Amino acid sequence: MKHLIQGLLHRYTVLDFSWGALQSLLGLLLSLASLIAGARLNSVKGHCCIVQDSPLLPRNAGISLGPFLVGGDGFYSWKHEYGHTFQSRLLGPLYLVVIGIPSVLSAALRPAKHHKLFAERWADAWSPRHDLALRFDEASQKTRLSNR
């Protein structure tokens, strides 16, 4: 519960659940279902929730829906997924059409070229750097170590 609150209470909370309400609510539902199915929860305090080892996602797959970053077993590109979170905050209700659907289709139909998709290169450009990047690395490591 602590990680859920820490990941959701931040300066963008109102934006995430108003302008980006659709993807944030989908992210909340996917996160809760993943946790019920045995996934692990962590957060980057004041930024987002990280749901690791979700049995509902394929191995090494990840998705960003609002402030919820959900990854299957073996997924590690949390900083990249957080770049998608900022796309969601910018695009609001257009996010799923402009970023989400093309990204999912690209990953499914052209996995070898998925990283070349405009939405993926844009998320890379907006992924955290410096201190915030270190906090993402620490959050994912803490969850991995605490669940051994």
Q: Tell me the C-alpha distance between 144 and 58, whole Å.
A: 18
> What φ, ψ does residue 70 adopt, rounded to 5°?
-120, 130
In this prediction, residue 21 has a pLDDT band, given cuts at 50, 70 and 90, of very high
Q: Tell me the C-alpha distance between 49 and 97, whole Å.
A: 23
Q: Tell me the C-alpha distance between 89 and 6, whole Å.
A: 18
Residue predicted with more confidence, 29 or 133: 29
Q: Look at residue 4 and tell me whether its pLDDT is greater than 70.
A: yes
Split into its structural domains, the chain has a count of 1
Give percent above pLDDT 70 in the chain: 95
Q: Tell me which residue of 106, 24, 105 sits closest to 64, measured CA to CA.
A: 24
Q: Tell me the C-alpha distance between 29 and 74, whole Å.
A: 21
Q: Look at residue 142 and tell me whether its pLDDT is greater than 70.
A: no
Q: Is 141 exposed, middle or buried (0-12, 13-18, 19+ CB in 10 A)?
A: exposed
pTM of the model: 0.90
Give percent above pLDDT 90 in the chain: 77
Show the domain range for 125: 2-146
User: Beta partners for 41?
Assistant: 51
In this prediction, residue 148 has a pLDDT band, given cuts at 50, 70 and 90, of very low
In which element (H, E) is residue 5 found? helix 2-8
Q: What is the pLDDT of residues 36-91, one digit of tens each?
A: 999 999 999 889 999 999 999 999 999 999 999 999 999 999 999 999 999 999 99
Both tokens assigned to 1: 């519960």
Q: What is the pLDDT of residues 121-134, one digit of tens each?
A: 999 999 988 788 88
